[in-house]
Amino acid sequence: MLARLDFDLDQYPRFKSTAMAILLVVMMLFIFFPTFWMLSTSLKPNEDAFAVPPKWVPETVTLKNYETQLNDRSGFRNYFQNGVIVSLGTALVSIIVAMPAGYAFARLRFRAKRTLLLIILASQMFPAVIIVITLYSLYREIKLLDSYAGLILAFTSFSIPFSVWMLRGFCESVPEEIEEAAFVDGCSRIGILWRIVIPLIRPGMIAVGLFSFLNAWNNLLFALSLTTRLDMRTIPPGFLLTYVGEFQYKWSDMFAGSVLVTLPTVILFIGLQRFLVRGLMAGAVKG
């Protein structure tokens, strides 16, 4: 083994670039093909989705599947609208509650600080399916089943640990001297938070908002268990009920819907992922 350790790939640039190119192509095919296939199928008439051998590129391109989805008031449009409301709500609430908490863990001194932080982080580890067994009964008692508020509350609880962790990292990166200067000028804690810290850590807030939005948008388990009425379904349970069951073989419709649902998240994510990575790193530096 050790004998081979002095083999230096960089001395064989051609071999290296060829090997890398092959690996890259194979892996990119793996990564990209399913997405391409979803897009391609969504543009075909449904009969062509059953073709063997498969029609890799649609022979007849049609937007009919998209039209069907966008006109489906009680199905797709309803799920989509619920998804937008609940996900935006979750993003907003997560930012509002995690912001002061992150600041407190970064700057304030108080008893049991480490323990509290640990408890908040550990809450992320509990399997959602365990929580939901009794959360359902609790929601039934306090009349939160089938409500936007109930869903937002449940989703927020799952994005809190990560959000607090990330915002703590961002708050720590704000130079203390600036806060001191504001303090000398007579600014209160809340003033410091509002006027100094928040404008400086906007990237962190974007990251938290994005993370929470995606979480809520994609969550199946809570959305499925905590709603009983059809018109309260968000996208994942809505799709589950429509396409795993009744309309299982409407592949083209299904993928047109999937593209419409995935597109906003892909755009949001690729546009904003640098904030998320920065957030992850900011949280990790102080470990």
Please give the full DSSP string across 261-281, using - where no structure is assigned: HHHHHHHHHHHHHHHHHHHHH
Contact call for residue 236 and other proteins (CB under 8 A): yes
Token code pair at residue 192: 């410091």
Please give the full DSSP string across 127-165, using - where no structure is assigned: -HHHHHHHHHHHHHHTT-TT-HHHHHHHHHHHHHHHHHH
CB of residue 77 vs other proteins: minimum separation in angstroms? 17
Contact call for residue 79 and other proteins (CB under 8 A): no
Site for other proteins in 107-166 (CB under 8 A): 107-111, 113, 116, 119-120, 123, 125-138, 140, 153-154, 156-157, 160, 164
Please count the residues of this chain forming the interface with other proteins, following the rule CB under 8 A. 104
| Cβ proximity to other proteins, 78 vs 156, nearer residue | 156
**Whether the Cβ atoms of residue 86 and residue 155 lie closer than 8 Å to each other:** yes
| Residue 151 CB coordination number (10 Å) | 27
- CA dist., res. 35 & res. 255, Å (int): 10
Exactly one of 18, 54, 149, 194 binds other proteins (CB under 8 A); that residue is: 54
Exactly one of 254, 256, 275, 282 binds other proteins (CB under 8 A); that residue is: 254
CB of residue 232 vs other proteins: minimum separation in angstroms? 16
Task: Return the range that interacts with other proteins (CB under 8 A); candidates 36-44, 69-77, 84-92, 195-203.
Answer: 36-44
Token code pair at residue 17: 């670039």
Task: Return the range that interacts with other proteins (CB under 8 A); candidates 59-67, 84-92, 96-104, 198-206.
Answer: 96-104
| Cβ proximity to other proteins, 70 vs 264, nearer residue | 264
Contact call for residue 191 and other proteins (CB under 8 A): no
Exactly one of 165, 211, 243, 275 binds other proteins (CB under 8 A); that residue is: 243
Report the first-to-last Cα separation within the chain, whole angstroms: 35
Contact call for residue 221 and other proteins (CB under 8 A): yes
Pinpoint the alpha helices (H) of the chain.
13-42, 64-71, 78-107, 113-122, 128-141, 148-172, 176-184, 189-191, 198-200, 202-218, 221-225, 235-241, 251-285
| Cβ proximity to other proteins, 8 vs 73, nearer residue | 8
- CA dist., res. 117 & res. 286, Å (int): 13
Exactly one of 15, 28, 61, 231 binds other proteins (CB under 8 A); that residue is: 28
- CA dist., res. 130 & res. 67, Å (int): 40
Contact call for residue 199 and other proteins (CB under 8 A): no
Contact call for residue 5 and other proteins (CB under 8 A): yes
Contact call for residue 27 and other proteins (CB under 8 A): yes
